[in-house]
Structure 1
């Protein structure tokens, strides 16, 4: 599985957070401040390394959490060089294009 395939799951709506060392599958938090909490983290540096976290403070039910863990395990079992590169976010492309237009180079 690649990072892009994880991001584009059809039967499971996944929110992801990418950092230098890991990818986190997020779920909306039940606390009063809102936000998202990680329910599973997957290492981007070490193969086969993923960590399920407590989901009980999120809106996920047990079945959704189990699906998130299954997806994380599938990604963790994929060799690092087969997972794909960093996700190129659409907002970065739009910002670059807008800057080119502002500078008169577009």
Structure 2
């Protein structure tokens, strides 16, 4: 499974109610937290640098129910079992590109 396919699978799961977060070393599936601030809590993380490495996390402090959490873990496992070189490029959102250009402008490299 590629990162793009993973993004589409997560997006197409109606009722799952999760978002994705990409960092340098991992992809996280986030669910809305039950705390007063309502931010995103990772329920599964998938390594982008170590093959076959993913970590399910506790979902009980989020709005996910057990079945949705199991579905998220299943998708994460499928991505984690795909060799790194076959996953494709990481999806970069527009705000990341804009932030990179702004930072380059501030540093005088743009």
Kindly name which structure, 1 or 2, has the bigger radius of gyration based on alpha carbons.
1
RMSD of aligned Cα (Å): 1.8
How many pairs are equivalent?
A: 96
Q: Note if 1:36 corresponds to 2:33.
A: no
Q: Which 5+ residue runs of structure 1 have no aligned equivalent? A: 96-106
Question: Does structure 2 retain, via aligned residues, the 8 Å contact 1:40–1:50?
Answer: yes
Aligned counterpart, 1:55: 59
What TM-score, normalized to structure 1? Answer: 0.82
Question: Does structure 2 retain, via aligned residues, the 8 Å contact 1:7–1:15?
Answer: no
What TM-score, normalized to structure 2? Answer: 0.79
SS in structure 1 of the partner of residue 28 of structure 2: strand
- For residues 28-87 of structure 1, the C-alpha deviation after alignment (integer angstroms, 9 at most, x for no partner) is 000001100000000000111000000000000000000000000000000001111121
